[in-house]
Structure 1
Amino acid sequence: FFNAVLSVYEALPIKLLLYQLLHIKPIRNAVICVIQGPWAESMMHDAMERGHWVFFQNCHLAPSWMPTLVRLIENINPLKVHENFRLWLTSLPSNKFPVSVLQKGSKMTIEPPRGIKANLQKTYMSLTNDFLSSSTKVFKSLLLSLCLFHGIFTDGNLNICISQLKMFLDEYQDIPYKGLQYTAGEINYGGHVTDDWDRRCLLSVLEDFYCPAVLSSDHVYSASGVYQQIDTKLDIKGYLAYIRGLPINDTPEIFGLHDNANISFAQNEAFALLEAVVRLQPRATSAGGKTLEEEIVAGIVEKIPPPFDVEEVMEKYPVLYEESMNTVLIQEVIRYNKLLEVICLSLRDTVKALKGSVVVSSALELMARSLFNNAVPDMWQGKAYASLKPLASWVSDLLQRINFLQRWISNGIPPAFWISGFFFPQAFLTGTLQNYARRSGTSIDTIGFDFEVLVKSVSEITEIPDTGCYIHGPFLEGARWDNKAGQLTESQLKTSSLRDLCMPYLQDTHTSWSCSVCFCTTGHSTNYVISLELPTRHTQRHWIKRGVALICALDY
């Protein structure tokens, strides 16, 4: 009597349902409603008596009403319900949707087309020859550009953008490119983007598709010419023939990425597959009778050092107005001590739980499962720094961070700071600004950072600079640094561009284009640290589309 539709589209299930209503003659009436508690319940009872269709849309938005829905479905009596009654449910994939409802009904999954070719084909198959023949050449050219852009950023309403494009072209004599870019980039597509760096990337890509150059018949969207503007005199069959000739797998150049992006994409897919395989492997005991979790716990316990002596550190590095790095060190020691305490306590409780000495709680069970799957436990991540590493690499990285702080405590302020070893890098940056502001008598609100990449290695840096500080540790992604030219340049083909950079602050030597690079801890802009200005001969938009970023730590 009912069907469940799982879809990432909001309007598509309604269109499918209305299409069925118009083509199935015995079904005369239908009720389409949004879940509104008692009103939806009474409407469902009425539909069961009269043989109507009921459509409950976006069930994932009403998780509190799902138990009521389960009760209604369980109480359906096939002998008393009208034979024409049908119940339709739509929802995004959600763990709040009742499993029992899915098991009792017919299920249909609707997924978005994957890739630019599939998106273009879907869009143009929904158009008609009358629509294209009645459109101008300018509209056809910009429509193709818009559809290509939609293939890159699918999280937007293409139909609204097409309507707005037609409206702007009909009402304005000159094409309002800025208006088109604003409505598409800031509202229809950018309205779904909450991060400023992601929106900057979206707008940079959109400028390549909403610009006067796309009106040229020989315009190409990619350097290879695979994606290009086509003759506007063609009909729907001509457009579809061109679309069918496009590659099934999208090339990185249409996204503005380097060809090495294919390598990263293949690696990520392989890692995801291997991770799934690891999660499926059965748990077994070793030859000595110990479980794998017990062996992992024993190995970690041997490596983890005791917490720092905070009082000793505060005595050796007291809080001074002249040196903010002392405060930074104390704060870092306190943060790492909290993490070490959680690790030691949880490992001890896990061993007891595995041996049956204590009751296995849900938290300990999740931790044991994480240890078995080589994943960092959630209770550790809640007290730890941002990291995407697996457990083994995460423990090794933690030991390196602790050694960095221990050398700082034993040998004094280092000449070059390993910025990747800080629990909270932003505090270190603020401390650097405070030192400069207090020594120069300048307000901290009026100063900022300048950057210069050094060719020398970290071991060659033995003295602390007079102003600013030296840092090392960030990895460059999406580009490479040319030591001879002293600027940002393209990555070498089939060569990883991830490399350690060493640079000082407060040194301005820019002689060409400067590119603002996002400096983050894990590669996600939500872990943003600071933006860097690096010299380059390309425009900033070029590197934005390349996805260039400095990352504190790798994910392996």
Structure 2
Amino acid sequence: MFCVDRIPWDTLTYITGEITYGGRVTDIWDQRCLRTILKTFFEAHTLEPDYKFSPSGTYYAPELDTLENYRHYIEGLPTVDPPEIFGMHENANISYQRQETMSLVSTVLDIQPRVSSGGNGRSNDDIVYELADSILEKLMEKLDIEHAHAELFKTILSLLDVLSEDVHNCFCFFFLKLDDKGRTNSLTTVLIQEVDRFNKLLQIIKESLHQLKNAIKGFVVMSDELERVYISFLNNQVPGMWTTAAYPSLKPLASWVQDLTLRCAFINYWIKLGAPLSFWISGFFFPQGFLTGILQNHARKYNLPIDRLTFTFHILPYFREQTEYIRSLADLSFGQKAEMDKEMEVPNDGVYVHGLFMDGFQWDNVNMMVTDAKSGEMNSVLPIMHMKPEMDLQQNSESYCCPLYKTALRAGTLSTTGHSTNFVISVELPSSKSQDYWVAKGAALICQLSE
């Protein structure tokens, strides 16, 4: 007789998760999810009487006498498996149905015949031409960091002549962003890199739009590449030549252009007004570089090894909506704070970030911890978060180690670190429930929505 206490549950989980599915599931966070699901079936409590595999009690291992009874039980199971069998929230089914609908709509748009005229008597050429004009009007010429620096230095040089030596050194440190060893602030380097990336993207977009307008007028030949841009515009899709040069995004064309203008405005105000009190982390072209810059600044400030620094995360009871935040900066000059920033103190270490969305759960601003999402509410907003570097930090067992992704797809190319290129960082969030509970829910943070 096989003793229950001797069943090698860990071995069964390892063989199934790491060997049977190991070659197919390579992402670290996907492996964690797989192991969590397997625990539902490979644990000692599964042998207890009346054990159920789902909260509703629909799924269980029946103790029946005949094969016919087993067949009857199996035939009575739901035709479509509900999310609860995997421990997921009911919103997961809504998300799945939306993805299937968008996939169907996209396929229909791709195969539909192209007619010579659109609605209201306008031709497709008219629609695409007007859309190209509209996009060109919304995009700024470029992000001019050199001009901003020239104005900044001019202001500083006029002030330094009348300042004492101590104040002179203080101004040099604050405005020129140099430490006591003459090194540039790492976030200034991040800003320069972001400006370069966005300017390259803006150049590609504008050149393609001008060429497309000329091709519609007949001044140049409509190439295959421009034809694909033309078709993308009719389908409200982002052209492939833009996505290749851009940051990851799942948004349709209209929302994508609006998002790009917000990102450019975020970087432009950083140039003109100085570093914001709270950074819109979703607006970075490469958020990993921004996080590395924070760690590098902290390592230089306290002479610490950067490879032993990790972030602690503290959620503040304040929210930021980026469109509203950008409007509040319109009439400010360098060094001034937005009205909504006056309720918070500048952090001594680390930075404040905002702009993250919660998928599979939500934030409880009363108890200051994560909680189950509301039915039908797909993505709630995470409040402002203080990211502070710490040395040799140990993971808090009472917190949920939550992955942060750039898009809701959560997939990308596997990097050498074992993470997807869509992955940004893991965030520890306070929770009253176990890690496995949230892993099964598919709880994650994302930088931007898909609509």
Bucket of the pairwise TM-score, normalised by the shorter protein: 0.7 to 0.9
Once structures 1 and 2 are overlaid, which stretch shifts more, 210-219 or 386-395?
A: 210-219
1:371/1:242 Cα in 2 relative to 1: closer, same or farther (>3 Å)?
same
Q: Cα deviations across residues 381-431 of structure 1 (Å, max 9, x unaligned)? A: 111001000000000000000111111111111100000110000111011
Aligned to 1:531: 426
| Mapping 1:535-550, distance limit 5 Å | 535-550=430-445
Q: Distance in 1 between matches of 2:241 and 2:176?
A: 32
Q: Distance in 2 between matches of 1:400 and 1:371?
A: 20
Q: Structure 1: 5+ residue runs without aligned partners?
A: 1-135, 139-168
1:322/1:351 Cα in 2 relative to 1: closer, same or farther (>3 Å)?
closer
Of 247, 250, 257, the residue aligned with 2:88 is: 257
| Mapping 1:43-442, distance limit 5 Å | 174-231=6-63, 233-279=64-110, 280=112, 282-285=114-117, 287=121, 290-313=125-148, 315=150, 316=152, 320=178, 321=183, 323-442=185-304
Does the alignment pair 1:478 with 2:357? no
Structure with the greater relative contact order (CA < 8 A, sep ≥ 6): 1 or 2? Answer: 2
Q: Distance in 1 between matches of 2:240 and 2:43?
A: 47
Query: Secondary structure at 2:6's aligned position in 1?
Result: coil
Counterpart of 1:216, as a letter, is E
Counterpart of 1:530, as a letter, is I
**Shift in Å at residue 267 of structure 1?**
2.1
Does the alignment pair 1:502 with 2:384? yes
Query: Secondary structure at 2:201's aligned position in 1?
Result: helix
**Shift in Å at residue 201 of structure 1?**
0.5
Q: Cα deviations across residues 212-265 of structure 1 (Å, max 9, x unaligned)? A: 22223411000010001210x534322221110111121111011011222222
Counterpart of 2:12, as a letter, is L
Aligned to 1:102: none
Q: Distance in 2 between matches of 1:183 and 1:227?
A: 24
Q: Distance in 2 between matches of 1:513 and 1:457?
A: 24
Counterpart of 1:552, as a letter, is C
**Shift in Å at residue 535 of structure 1?**
0.7
TM-score, length-normalised on structure 1? Answer: 0.66
**Shift in Å at residue 314 of structure 1?**
5.2
The answer to whether the 8 A contact 2:143-2:264 is kept is no
**Shift in Å at residue 288 of structure 1?**
5.4
**Shift in Å at residue 319 of structure 1?**
7.1
**Shift in Å at residue 356 of structure 1?**
2.3
Counterpart of 2:71, as a letter, is L
**Shift in Å at residue 343 of structure 1?**
0.2
Query: Secondary structure at 2:428's aligned position in 1?
Result: strand
Q: Distance in 1 between matches of 2:281 and 2:447?
A: 7
1:204/1:246 Cα in 2 relative to 1: closer, same or farther (>3 Å)?
same
Q: Cα deviations across residues 262-289 of structure 1 (Å, max 9, x unaligned)? A: 2222222232333334332634435355
Q: Cα deviations across residues 62-110 of structure 1 (Å, max 9, x unaligned)? A: xxxxxxxxxxxxxxxxxxxxxxxxxxxxxxxxxxxxxxxxxxxxxxxxx
Q: Distance in 2 between matches of 1:460 and 1:469?
A: 16
TM-score, length-normalised on structure 2? Answer: 0.80
Aligned to 1:514: 399
Query: Secondary structure at 2:205's aligned position in 1?
Result: helix
Counterpart of 1:484, as a letter, is V
Aligned to 1:127: none
RMSD, aligned α-carbons: 2.4
Query: Secondary structure at 1:506's aligned position in 2?
Result: strand
Counterpart of 1:386, as a letter, is P
Q: Distance in 2 between matches of 1:507 and 1:309?
A: 31
Counterpart of 1:483, as a letter, is N
1:511/1:531 Cα in 2 relative to 1: closer, same or farther (>3 Å)?
closer
**Shift in Å at residue 491 of structure 1?**
1.1
Aligned to 2:156: none
Aligned to 2:341: 461
Q: Distance in 2 between matches of 1:449 and 1:313?
A: 32
Aligned to 1:113: none
Query: Secondary structure at 1:249's aligned position in 2?
Result: coil
Query: Secondary structure at 1:306's aligned position in 2?
Result: coil
1:324/1:311 Cα in 2 relative to 1: closer, same or farther (>3 Å)?
same
Query: Secondary structure at 1:531's aligned position in 2?
Result: strand
Query: Secondary structure at 1:494's aligned position in 2?
Result: coil
Q: Structure 2: 5+ residue runs without aligned partners?
A: 153-174, 321-338, 412-419
The answer to whether the 8 A contact 2:405-2:445 is kept is yes
**Shift in Å at residue 310 of structure 1?**
4.0
**Shift in Å at residue 365 of structure 1?**
1.3
Q: Cα deviations across residues 467-501 of structure 1 (Å, max 9, x unaligned)? A: 11100001011001111111111112233342243
Q: Cα deviations across residues 18-62 of structure 1 (Å, max 9, x unaligned)? A: xxxxxxxxxxxxxxxxxxxxxxxxxxxxxxxxxxxxxxxxxxxxx
The answer to whether the 8 A contact 1:260-1:493 is kept is yes
Q: Distance in 2 between matches of 1:173 and 1:375?
A: 57
The answer to whether the 8 A contact 2:360-2:379 is kept is yes
The answer to whether the 8 A contact 1:190-1:202 is kept is no
**Shift in Å at residue 511 of structure 1?**
8.4
